[in-house]
A and B are shown apart, each in its own frame.
Chain A
Amino acid sequence: MARLIEELRKLPGIGTKSAQRLAFHILRSNPEDAEALASAVREVKARLQLCSICNNITDVDPCLYCASPTRNQRLVCVVEEPTNIATVEKTRGYNGVYHVLHGTLSPLHGVGPEHLRTSTLLDRVTRGDIDEVILATSPTVEGEATAHYLADMLRSGGARISRIATGVPAGSDIEYADEVTMTRALEGRREM
């Protein structure tokens, strides 16, 4: 029991009390449920891998997006984490493919350019396989630094490099927009 609590405690957002609660829940659950959980954990580690082209988490290589004949393979959206793909996909307006960096440049956490997964993206751009790279990192200090670094790195490859727009979120009130957001919204205005 102590070992299970200790292992659960390693999960993000789980403290000792939560780990104890989860461990007792598993203890009380029927053997099938406990086995299903254990087998799901085993399988996720055994079967899932990173796509050799875009670094997305996948059970087949290349991943669904990179292998799709209906997607525009010459348009690449660069995101920080695999979970960001779902956010872009929710728009139903993007038909290109992705490249996952698995992080951003973070001097405070010791993450430098050498830690980002950029080699396959650079290869594709250098080979002329890509027309446009959309940099969809977060508009934070670390996300901006990463976008800036990627733009400098990819510029010589000949592909168009673009950055996602930033500004006032849809459905929000301009009254509550902060100075930086409003400045960017004004800078990124478009003609109607």
Chain B
Amino acid sequence: MIAHQAEALVLRTWPVQEADQIVSLFTRDQGKLKGMAKSAARSRRRFGGALEPMTHVVAHYVEKPRQELVRLDSCEILSSPLSQPVDYRRAAALAFYAEVLEETLPDHDPQDSVFRLALTVLEHTRTDSIWLPVTYFALWMIRLMGWMPDIERCTLCGRPFGNESAWFLAGSDGLVCGDHSHPASRALSPQSLAIAGRFFRTPIAGLVSEDWPPNRAADLRRFAFQSLERHLERKLRSTQALKA
């Protein structure tokens, strides 16, 4: 048996038996792993509110040889989403982060850059400002997973987009110019392409002073959601709440 103490983000929980829970954790050092939290639904002492999705914790767990689930003994909260007011939009944003991390990351594969990204967007996800962090997170996840196409040139002919829109299609890779777009393609405006470029050059803290209403870069968000869903080969449930 090896005892661990690791900084982690709680992604999801599933109830088992009467009071036990299986917990999915994204740890900084060991990547994503799942553990059994015995009596988690009853024991306020060991877990309290630490098993809420996207809570940043120090997790104490024990790994046993030949067992897939670790034994989660306790969690100390470093920061909790419940420290700030939670409305439906913010809950949807938190669910989106948790779902994307749960679905994209392989088990036991540490991804420090993804961990840092998640902490950064969590810090800026407030009830009145979810659209910037959600879009920033979605786009960066595509990039960190290696799924980001060229945002400056047409994938098919290499022509720079310049001041023209780029086009994307749910079922195919990359961004194309108007000449190569499909009738079912959706446009990505030059303004949104410029925002994408800024996202990759500027930390989120440098963007929060700007106004981010829901319709700003909505096409970029749609492109990001579609890219994630296409590579995961499944619909993300939480995006429905963010589209509504």
- A residues engaging B (CB < 8 A)? 13, 105-110, 112-113, 139-142, 144-146, 148-149, 152, 169, 172-173, 176-181, 183
Contact = CB atoms under 8 A, between A and B. Distances in A.
Given A109-B237, A112-B241, A145 B77 contact: no
Nearest to A149: B88
A115 B79 CA distance: 31
A178 B83 CA distance: 11
Interface residues of B, number: 37
Contacts of B45: 172-173, 176
B238 A148 contact: no
A178 B50 contact: yes
Contact of B85 (A13, A113, A144, A178): A144
> By DSSP majority rule, is chain B's interface helix, strand, loop, or mixed?
mixed
Interface string B103-141: 000000000000000000000000100000000000000
Contact of A179 (B12, B77, B86, B94): B77
B233 interface: no
B85 A148 contact: yes
B229 interface: no
Contacts of A169: 44
A172 B46 CA distance: 12
A156 to B, nearest CB: 17
Most buried by B among A105, A112, A144, A181: A144
Contacts of B82: 139-141, 144, 180
Nearest to B127: A148
A65 to B, nearest CB: 27
Interface string B66-108: 0000000000110011110111101110111011000000000
A89 B127 CA distance: 33
Given A105-B91, A107-B96, A180-B49, A141 B241 contact: no
A139 B91 CA distance: 13
B81 A141 contact: yes
Contacts of A181: 44, 48-49
A107 B95 contact: yes
Contacts of A183: 83
Contacts of A13: 16-18
A105 B238 CA distance: 11
Interface centre among A108, A110, A142, A181 (most CB of B within 10 A): A108
Interface string B36-47: 000000001100
B209 interface: no
